[in-house]
């Protein structure tokens, strides 16, 4: 009997088409995630060492506001395009993709342009968000971010459409490789010769120009294979209504999702000061790095699940979700365990003063262990068309985060921000997991899943704690713990590679089809 999502071929077990495409997309996403993580660490390190925690906090507060705004102003259209383009290609060969693109892009462009104008004419917002800067400099920084809003917002919409074609290459090439690397390339000489909040904010923004060009050229190439449009005004109007009935709730929930990552930076800047905001940015960068494999798998699995559900192949969709959750759990948990065991040494990578965020890092590692063990439950909910469920869960989690943050941050600073975000992560993921299991019938826990959790936690926890007990939370302790855990972990993966789903994950590398 073969595992879900696989097909027997003699004595070998190879992934079926959906699993193979997901695994290949995950490998591409994993490459992009690795580059993004390295570039992100490099950028945060360069900025914090060049400006110090306080001024760096001002840069990252601007980044936080920009990221929240651009993701909110796409109005959920990128996720809508992932789902509807994938379904349209299955049903009609892409005859209605042009209609979907126009329906998605124009409202996002109008909304982002209106927000840009508002930020340009309201200098008081800049002074409130960036209290650590002189008034005129704060206004100039925020206006510079505002000018890039429409371009970045529409680019994100275009990348969502490209994902609907079943490829993650445009997204990975633009958002995870091209822009992060360009930001570092621009920031390094600026830190040496012209370090300032304004110049380093510009270094973060300018790569958006190249990203927009790459995104739209990629989308035009993908559309060459679309079937010719057949005029059907009534059908197209119904399609647009259906698109926005899905994307509307997703527009709001996406605001909650992206704001959850950055709201701690903004609240710390407002309630505790730029220095705490800078430390928290470093903590959140580490946490984001730990979830990059999950993002890679999500990028690949979303259009596959949408296509399978749209064609009535629910059993295959469930098997794909179960297998992909095993991958995420197996390969992500060890990183969170090791960061939690050696938090002060990990935080010291960012410079003096940053080990103060060690307790916050431990809290968020625990919360994100829950996150990765749930897998991409939120993606399943969305690709099943239940965007209103996603909105309700995301809204509840966001309310928990903001409510707790307002209470905890004034007294506990960075740790308070971490506790509030951690609680929100747990609420979001447990609620989503329950909906996926009991309303959609997607079972996650089985013997392979339990094995993946044990393999992900035990070597890192046991050997990491032993190394810390001997050498302390120090560089030698980290080195010994990581090497020892890696050796045992690799041995476990090799011995139980079939049961853990490792064969399905690595077996598509170098194979076409």
Residue range 33-52, pLDDT digits in tens: 778 878 877 888 888 777 77
Domain membership of residue 513 (yes or no) is no
Domain membership of residue 6 (yes or no) is no
Domain membership of residue 512 (yes or no) is no
CA-CA distance, 398 to 390, in Å (whole number)? 12
pTM recorded for the entire structure: 0.70
Mean pLDDT, the chain, whole residue set: 84
Quote the distance between the C-alpha of residue 402 and its chain's center: 20
CA-CA distance, 52 to 353, in Å (whole number)? 9
pLDDT in tens, 346-400: 998 777 778 888 999 999 999 999 999 998 898 899 888 888 898 899 999 999 9
Domain membership of residue 436 (yes or no) is yes
> How many domains is the chain built from?
1
CA-CA distance, 69 to 266, in Å (whole number)? 13
Cβ pair 304, 22 in contact under 8 A = yes
With 0-12 / 13-18 / 19 or more C-beta atoms within 10 angstroms meaning exposed / middle / buried, residue 389 is buried
Domain membership of residue 4 (yes or no) is no
- Reported as type and span, the H/E element at residue 12 is strand 12-15
Provide the b/e sequence for 245-265 (b: ≥16 CB within 10 Å): ebbbbbbbbbbbbbbbbbbbb
12 pLDDT band (50/70/90 cuts)?
very low
CA-CA distance, 301 to 466, in Å (whole number)? 37
The position carrying tokens 């749930």 is 374
- Reported as type and span, the H/E element at residue 8 is strand 6-9
29 pLDDT band (50/70/90 cuts)?
low
The position carrying tokens 């307790």 is 359
CA-CA distance, 395 to 413, in Å (whole number)? 24
pLDDT in tens, 59-96: 877 888 888 889 889 999 998 998 899 888 888 888 88
pLDDT in tens, 459-503: 999 999 999 999 999 999 999 999 999 999 999 989 888 888 777
Render 287-307 in DSSP notation, one character per residue.
Answer: HHHHTHHHHHHHHHHHHHHHH
pLDDT at 226: 83
pLDDT above 60: residue 19 = no
**CA 67 vs CA 96, 132, 386: distances in Å:** 30, 20, 25
The position carrying tokens 């360069």 is 46
* Four-residue CA torsion sign, 492, 497, 500, 502: positive
* Four-residue CA torsion sign, 474, 477, 483, 489: negative
Percent of the chain with pLDDT over 70: 90
Cβ pair 58, 132 in contact under 8 A = yes
Domain membership of residue 1 (yes or no) is no
Structural domain harbouring 75: 13-226+233-506
Beta strands in 22-110 (DSSP E): none
Beta strands in 210-327 (DSSP E): none
CA-CA distance, 278 to 289, in Å (whole number)? 17
pLDDT in tens, 223-249: 988 888 877 788 888 989 999 998 888
Quote the distance between the C-alpha of residue 45 and its chain's center: 20
Domain membership of residue 296 (yes or no) is yes
Rounded (5°) CA angle 64-67-73: 135
For range 281-296, the mean pLDDT:
81
Domain membership of residue 76 (yes or no) is yes
The position carrying tokens 């407002």 is 270
5 pLDDT band (50/70/90 cuts)?
very low
- Reported as type and span, the H/E element at residue 86 is helix 77-92
In 3-state terms the chain splits into helix, strand, coil percentages (rounded to 5) of 85, 0, 15
pLDDT in tens, 118-159: 888 877 777 676 766 777 778 888 888 999 999 999 999 999
Q: What is residue 7's three-state secondary structure?
A: strand
């Amino acid at each position: 009997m073969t595992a879900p999502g696989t097909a027997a071929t003699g004595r070998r077990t190879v992934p079926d088409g959906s699993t193979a495409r997901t695994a290949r997309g995950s490998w591409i996403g994993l490459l992009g995630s690795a580059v993004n993580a390295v570039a992100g660490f490099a950028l945060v390190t360069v900025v914090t060492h060049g400006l110090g925690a306080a001024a760096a906090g001002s840069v990252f507060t601007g980044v936080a506001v920009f990221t929240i705004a651009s993701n909110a102003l796409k109005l959920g259209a990128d996720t809508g395009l992932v789902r509807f383009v994938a379904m349209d290609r299955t049903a009609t060969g892409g005859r209605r993709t042009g209609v979907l693109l126009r329906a998605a892009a124009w409202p996002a462009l109008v909304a982002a342009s209106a927000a840009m104008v508002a930020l340009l004419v309201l200098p008081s917002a800049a002074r409130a968000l960036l209290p650590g800067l002189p008034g005129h400099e704060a206004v100039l920084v925020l206006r510079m971010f505002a000018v890039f809003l429409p371009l970045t917002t529409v680019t994100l919409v275009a990348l969502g459409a490209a994902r609907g074609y079943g490829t993650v290459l445009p997204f990975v090439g633009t958002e995870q490789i091209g822009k992060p690397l360009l930001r570092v390339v621009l920031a390094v000489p600026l830190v040496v010769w012209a370090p300032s909040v304004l110049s380093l904010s510009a270094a973060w923004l300018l790569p958006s120009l190249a990203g927009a060009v790459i995104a739209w050229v990629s989308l035009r190439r993908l559309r060459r294979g679309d079937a010719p449009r057949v005029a059907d005004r009534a059908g197209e109007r119904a399609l647009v209504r259906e698109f926005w009935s899905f994307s509307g709730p997703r527009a709001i929930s996406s605001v909650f999702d992206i704001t959850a990552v950055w709201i701690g930076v903004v609240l710390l800047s407002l309630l505790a000061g730029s220095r705490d905001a800078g430390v928290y940015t470093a903590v959140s960068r580490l946490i984001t790095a730990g979830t990059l494999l999950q993002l890679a798998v999500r990028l690949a699995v979303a259009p596959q699940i949408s296509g399978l559900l749209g064609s009535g192949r629910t059993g295959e969709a469930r098997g794909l979700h179960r297998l992909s959750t095993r991958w995420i759990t197996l390969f992500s948990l060890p990183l969170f365990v090791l960061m939690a065991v050696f938090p002060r040494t990990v935080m010291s990578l960012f410079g003096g003063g940053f080990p103060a965020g060690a307790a916050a890092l431990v809290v968020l590692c625990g919360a994100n262990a829950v996150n990765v063990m749930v897998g991409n439950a939120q993606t399943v909910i969305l690709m099943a068309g239940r965007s209103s469920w996603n909105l309700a869960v995301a809204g509840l989690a966001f309310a928990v985060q903001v409510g707790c943050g307002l209470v905890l941050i004034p007294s506990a600073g960075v740790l308070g921000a971490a506790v509030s975000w951690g609680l929100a992560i747990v609420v979001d993921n447990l609620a989503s997991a329950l909906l996926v299991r009991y309303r959609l019938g997607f079972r996650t826990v089985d013997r392979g899943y339990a094995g993946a959790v044990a393999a992900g936690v035990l070597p890192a926890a046991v050997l990491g704690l032993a190394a810390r007990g001997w050498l302390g939370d120090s560089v030698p302790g980290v080195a010994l713990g990581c090497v020892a855990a890696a050796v045992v972990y690799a041995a476990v993966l090799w011995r139980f590679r079939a049961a853990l789903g490792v064969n399905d994950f690595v077996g598509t590398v170098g194979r076409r089809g």
